[in-house]
Amino acid sequence: MNVVDLLEAARPEVAPMPLDQRRMVRERLFGAADDVVRTTIRERSASGAVTATAPRGYRADRVRVRPKRPRRSGSFAKMGAGLLVVGAAGAAGWSWYADSNDEAAVSLTTTTVEATTTTTTTTAPTTTLAPTRTGVTDEEPVLFPLGLIPVEEAVIDQAPVGGEYVVMRAGDGSWVRLEAIDGEEGATSDFDFSPIGSIEVAPFTFAEGGPWIYTIETTCGAVRVVDAPAQEQFRPLMTELFRGMSIDAGGAVDALLPASLSVVEAAIGSPEYRTVFRIEGQTDGDDDSGSDDDRLITLRQVPDGSIAQLLPGGAQPVEMIWLGERAVGVGDLDTTGDEIGPVAVYWRDASTVFAVSSDVVPLDQLESFVSGLRAATVNSWIERFSADAVDSSAAPGDGADDPSETDPDVTTTIAPPCSPQPSLGPTFLP
Amino acid sequence: MADVPLTGLAAARLYDDHVDGVHAMVARRVGAEHAPNVTAEVFEHALRGWDRYEESGATERNFLLGAATIVLRRHTDRERAYLLSIPDPSLRNTPMSHDPLVVEQTPYDADTERERELGGSSFDAAMNALVDLDADLRDTLLLSLWERMSTQSIAEALDLSPNTVRSMLSKARRALKAAR
């Protein structure tokens, strides 16, 4: 055998990239809450590399538990005071989302309710009531279907290590997202940073007209600000924001916010309960507008969560009515047209925030689907979807050998040994 | 339809479409342990230089594997260590049988046996020759042998002419044979 043949024969066979690593890398690249899950799941399902094990007509899937992350000492209850700086524009925009039509206000996180109440209404926080559109409560904070619906994937997705998020709204109505995620040292060493005020910032965008993503230089991990799409690089608002930013020795990123920029909501990442359902197609004979394979609905639920965690960077949500109450949506919110495009709706009931999305299912059908779900406890959700947790027929490479797949007590940390890790200061996350 | 961050979704689609291929190439070069971080570096590098993709005429896969080649240059020590740790494929399937009825599952190779007696296998020599190869030649050769890319694809990935790629592959083969 000649040397070239030897080398060719030595080609290492590698297993598919484990899903947790795949997601971790995606989070590093696009941010933790980038709403591309549906694309990913479809791809992975098609390859058979992940799950896609549910036969039609059955609920059947495994619950995959990602490594737990250490919670920071901050809590939502501490967020109140800092949010009093919420400006009029942002508060007004958010209050439309936050307030219900009647006298009962939507219960956002405690602090956001306080902020909204302080700046726009006289409703006392203690009197706020959650809407009952889905029936979730603090005791039953998640939804699952009454009947048997094929499930592509059910995942308890721990938030990225050290993930902290803020959504802000500018006076021009645009939304800006800031996130801080723990990571290794030198994760951004490849960037060309430029000094602005006391920090260093590197802008990049995926394509012309896309949102500018500003990476702020940190010792470890990543801090990113994602502007609205179709804005110029370093538009005055962004430059003013960066000039007012600082990073202290402990890695805390804080800012003196521009007058026209308001914090809408902020959060420390919380576990997300994500389910991808496959619904029956409504094709009529030769109607090939969408195959069954494409009719996936992703439902993301974060008890005690925040829209700031779920809303992807660059998204510019608009206010809408959803199940009779106020919500925000992104994408194809027009139900009158023939074309169906990707759509996502974000809302809060009780203390749970939700995002439902689909590439091909129109808004009215999504609404109908969600209205058919019922509230359940977290344990019920886990039991419901972990019925096949032990799957001895799992193919190699689909995570069957990963102890975190079946052992919810696995606490393998993915926190890198680097210090200081970035965090958000009290202006963003009191 | 309004306000959809199409560019973000487009980038994420690119990631979802090609992450397995990029990860596989990276894992073959630096091992599974380092593959996730290096894969992330590859996409960061590629996305920041996406304007070059628009001009290159390369396929997305070829462009990304070219980016991976560039990024792997930052990890030459890891790559060298990993390549030298790859086990001899002729030994991979050696039966560890406890069944007395199972015999001779691995064909006897007189050359291999003789080389082992001399203290070094032809495989070890080949891997040493590979890691000692000029980096440009090694990258080109491994894109051909391990990623199974055509000359044209390698040319697209490395932004070279097909003739240059052919020449480099030829040089690489000659260098390997001379080193053995």
* Shortest Cα–Cα distance, A379 to chain B (Å): 31
- B22's enclosing H/E stretch is helix B6-30
Contact A15 B44 (CB under 8 A): no
Whole-number mean pLDDT of chain A?
A: 69
- Which is nearest to A330 in space by CA: A304, A367, A348, A356? A356
Report yes or no: A77 and A172 within 8 Å, Cβ to Cβ.
no
Residue of B nearest to A9 (CA): B89
B77-to-A231, A420, B21, B176 alpha-carbon distances in Å: 42, 27, 22, 20
* Shortest Cα–Cα distance, A361 to chain B (Å): 14
* Shortest Cα–Cα distance, B46 to chain A (Å): 10
Region at B93 (left for phi over 0; alpha for psi -120 to 50; beta for the rest): alpha
Task: For residue B81, list chain A residues with Cβ-Cβ distance below 8 A.
Answer: none
What pLDDT digit, counting tens, does each position of A170-186 carry?
A: 999 999 999 998 887 76
What is the Cα–Cα distance from A56 to A76, expressed in whole angstroms? 40
Check CB contact of A67 with chain B, cutoff 8 Å: no
Average pLDDT over residues A365-381: 90
Identity of the residue numbered A311: L
What pLDDT digit, counting tens, does each position of A9-63 carry?
A: 889 988 888 877 887 787 777 764 443 333 232 333 332 222 222 222 223 233 4
User: Under DSSP, is residue B61 helix (H, G, I), strand (E, B) or coil?
Assistant: helix
Identity of the residue numbered A143: L
Task: For residue B145, list chain A residues with Cβ-Cβ distance below 8 A.
Answer: 4, 7-8, 11
* Shortest Cα–Cα distance, A427 to chain B (Å): 27
**Highest averaged pLDDT of the listed ranges A277-291, A301-315, A378-392:** A301-315
Report yes or no: A8 and B145 within 8 Å, Cβ to Cβ.
yes
pLDDT of res. A24 = 78
Task: For residue B141, list chain A residues with Cβ-Cβ distance below 8 A.
Answer: 7
Interface of A with B in 133-192 (CB under 8 A): 184, 190-191
| Of A407 and A181, the one with more pLDDT | A181
What is the Cα–Cα distance from A103 to A131, expressed in whole angstroms? 11
β-strand pairing of A252-255 with A423-424: parallel
Q: Which of A11, A30, A204 sits opposite B28 (nearest CB)?
A: A11
CA torsion A201→B53→A17→A14, rounded to 10°? -130
Per residue, the 3-state secondary structure of chain A, as one string, reads: CCHHHHHHHCCCCCCCCCHHHHHHHHHHHHCCCCCCHHHHHHHHHHHCCCCCCCCCCCCCCCEEECCCCCCCCCCHHHCCHHHHHCCHHHHHHHHHHHECCCCCECCCCHHHHHHHHHHHCCCCHHHCCCCCCCCCCCCCCEEEECCCCCEEEEEEECCCCCCEEEEEEECCCCEEEEEEEEEEECCCCCCCCEEECCEEEEEECCCCCCCCEEEECCCEEEEEEECCCCCCCCCHHHHHHHHCEEECCCCEEEECCCCCEEEEEEEECCCEEEEEEECCCCCCCCCCCCCHHHCEEEEEEEECCCHHHHCCCCCCCEEEEECCEEEEEEECCCCCCCCCCCEEEEEEECCEEEEEEECCCCHHHHHHHHHCEEEECHHHHHHHHCCCCCCCCCCCCCCCCCHHHHCCCCCCCCCCCCCCCCEECCCCCC
Contact A39 B2 (CB under 8 A): no
What is the Cα–Cα distance from A123 to B165, expressed in whole angstroms? 72
Contact B2 A15 (CB under 8 A): no
Q: Which of A14, A22, A25 sits opposite B24 (nearest CB)?
A: A14
ipTM value, please give it: 0.80
Q: Which of A206, A315, A334 sits opposite B50 (nearest CB)?
A: A206
- Calculate the CA A252 to chain-centre distance: 22
Report yes or no: A306 and A267 within 8 Å, Cβ to Cβ.
yes
Check CB contact of A315 with chain B, cutoff 8 Å: yes
Report yes or no: B5 and A312 within 8 Å, Cβ to Cβ.
yes
pLDDT in tens, chain B (180 residues): 233 333 566 777 788 889 999 999 999 999 998 999 899 999 888 888 887 887 788 898 999 999 999 999 989 899 999 999 998 877 654 443 333 333 333 444 445 444 544 445 788 888 999 999 999 999 999 999 999 999 899 999 999 999 999 999 999 998 888 876
Residue of B nearest to A345 (CA): B4
Contact B177 A2 (CB under 8 A): yes
Q: Which of A43, A47, A314 sits opposite B8 (nearest CB)?
A: A314
- Which is nearest to A323 in space by CA: A129, A147, A95, A135? A135
Check CB contact of A287 with chain B, cutoff 8 Å: no
Q: Indicate the DSSP class of residue B119.
A: T
Report yes or no: B45 and B71 within 8 Å, Cβ to Cβ.
yes
Contact A229 B122 (CB under 8 A): no
- Which is nearest to B141 in space by CA: B113, B118, B116, B172? B172
Domains of chain A: 134-159+270-399 (3.40.1000), 161-268+412-430 (no CATH)
Check CB contact of A374 with chain B, cutoff 8 Å: no
Neighbours of A137 (CB within 10 A): 15
- B52's enclosing H/E stretch is helix B50-56
A vs B, Cβ pairs < 8 A, gives 160
pLDDT of res. B55 = 79
